[in-house]
Structure 1
């Protein structure tokens, strides 16, 4: 999966979020299904984007304790 394509897709998802500040919990299964790629490719792509510093990640402190992604 192309990193730039995944980044643009995730960026548009986060920007359309109604949260303040902008963040979103991203389901790798749903993104993989929409893009027609394996889930592991999406997971690896997101990890790579976080490592590059293009995305920031954190865990919610309250239930459902999901991992959320924010733009840098």
Structure 2
């Protein structure tokens, strides 16, 4: 999966989720299903975007929940 395509999709999800977009919990399973790729590809792409400084993330108290934020 191309990193730029994933970033556009994630950015669109975040900006359409709230009136003043800042962050969103993203389901890698749902994104993988919608894009027709494996969960591993989505997780690796998100990790690359975090490493590039285009996204940041924090973990929620709930297990397996992460919040992604635009930079």
What is the TM-score normalised by the length of structure 2? 0.89
Aligned pair in 2 of structure 1 residues 20, 59: CA closer, same or farther (>3 Å)? Answer: farther
Name the Cα RMSD after superposition. Answer: 1.6
Distance in 1 (alpha carbons) for counterparts of 2:18 and 2:57: 17
Aligned pair in 2 of structure 1 residues 8, 54: CA closer, same or farther (>3 Å)? Answer: same
Task: Confirm whether residue 33 of structure 1 aligns to residue 40 of structure 2.
Answer: no
Q: Shift of residue 64 of structure 1?
A: 2.5
Distance in 2 (alpha carbons) for counterparts of 1:45 and 1:14: 16
Gapped runs of 5+ residues in structure 2?
none
Gapped runs of 5+ residues in structure 1?
none
What is the TM-score normalised by the length of structure 1? 0.88
Q: Structure 1 segments of 4 or more deviating over 4 A?
A: none
Aligned pairs, how many? 70
Could you tell me whether the CA contact under 8 Å between 2:56 and 2:68 is conserved in 1?
yes
